[in-house]
Amino acid sequence: MAAFMNQALDTDLAAALLHELSDTWREINANHFRGRMRPPVLALSDVGSRLGQWNSATRTLSLDRALVFEKPWSVVREVLKHEVAHQFVDEILKIRDQAAHGPAFEDVCRRFAIDARATGLPAVPAGSDGGSPVLRRITRLLALAESPNVHEAEAAMKTAHRLMLKHNIDAKVTAASEGYAFVHLGVPRRRVEAAEHILAGILTRHFFVEAIWVPSYLAREARSGRVLELCGSLPNLEVASYVHAFLLETAERLWREHKRSHRIDSDKERRRFQAGVMSGFDEKLKAGTKEDQREGLIWVGDPGLEDFLHQRYPRRTGGSGIGVRLTAAYEHGREAGRNIVLHKPVKEASSRGRLLGPVQ
């Protein structure tokens, strides 16, 4: 009986997964290929020697079962995009006299920022070893920001951010030539809290990455939601990922301290307080940006990064506004956010595989 129930559960999970893959295929076909293809037969494969495969004769697009159940959805999606690119070359371009990964396929992958190697993640840009002199200097400055002396800590944080600004202004051409990557932060959630939306804006405005909320899926739980995707150069992704974790942890700690000091028993106002924390820290960084602009340090964006994001999501739409009631809890959080000092060293990576940290 237990074996039968497990088999039934596996069958239900597989059916839900194929439904999610079908939705993802339709989204990729619409956004990247203007809906020009007919839906294929989607299947799960137990061969294990391939992550995915497009079979022209049977019009079957199959993905490895272990891949879809054990790897993050970001990896599954990239492999699916790779196979959809094969389908496009075969059925729309009708190019069948080249090798599977020939010039036509590579051109399609290049146009849409698809990993032509089908490893599930974009290729690591050449020369990005996680040990750049600028990243090491930023690491040391953020370590200094742990100083108990408030003025020294503030100065170290501002210097670290100014160094990032100078480096990115000087390195835009280099970044475009070396390429960009992406990372997913967190697990799929149906509801994204206001604090997380504000935090995504902080990373985009102040840490030289692009942020977008994208669909994701947990195959073993048959649960869908959204996760935050950051796109940028590898050093900037390293710093932005650290800042994301730091601010979420700090907002949680500040809420606990606020509850104790005000003798609050419930978490009813937690979301508003933490939204205030993020808003207050954003205001602090904006004030620093105005100081930089007065000194002639002006960031006008990275066209190469914008092109990369457009390739990944050609038809993305803007999000809706964030509504937060300006309660006393929000204002307390905002005041606390203005006093945050970004500190603790960013862990330096010893290998390329660790540079982006855990990818979800």
Rounded-to-integer distance, Cα 324 and Cα 305, Å: 31
CB 314 within 8 A of CB 239: no
The two three-digit tokens of residue 287, written as one number: 């004030």
Which pLDDT belongs to residue 321?
58
Sorted by where each begins, the domain ranges of the chain are 2-111, 133-354
CB 111 within 8 A of CB 105: no
- Per-residue pLDDT tens over the stretch 230-268: 999 888 898 899 899 999 999 999 999 999 999 999 999
pTM across the whole model: 0.82
- Per-residue pLDDT tens over the stretch 102-145: 999 999 998 888 888 755 555 544 444 445 677 777 887 888 78
Pick the CATH number of 2-111 from 3.30.300.130, 3.30.2010.10, 3.30.1180.20, 3.40.50.300: 3.30.2010.10
Model confidence at 95: pLDDT above 80 = yes
Model confidence at 3: pLDDT above 60 = no
Rounded-to-integer distance, Cα 318 and Cα 331, Å: 27
- Residue 297: band (very low, low, confident or very high) from pLDDT cuts 50, 70, 90: low
For residue 1, the one-letter residue type is M
Which pLDDT belongs to residue 148?
83
* Alpha helices by DSSP H, 171-269: 172-178, 194-206, 234-262
Which pLDDT belongs to residue 254?
95
CB 128 within 8 A of CB 352: yes
- Poorest-pLDDT segment among 98-112, 142-156, 274-288, 307-321: 307-321
For residue 13, the one-letter residue type is L
Model confidence at 25: pLDDT above 50 = yes
Q: At which residue do the structure tokens 């494969």 appear?
A: 45
Q: At which residue do the structure tokens 């803007």 appear?
A: 318
Rounded-to-integer distance, Cα 33 and Cα 26, Å: 10
Q: Tell me the CA end-to-end span of the chain in Å, nearest whole number.
A: 35
Rounded-to-integer distance, Cα 166 and Cα 141, Å: 15
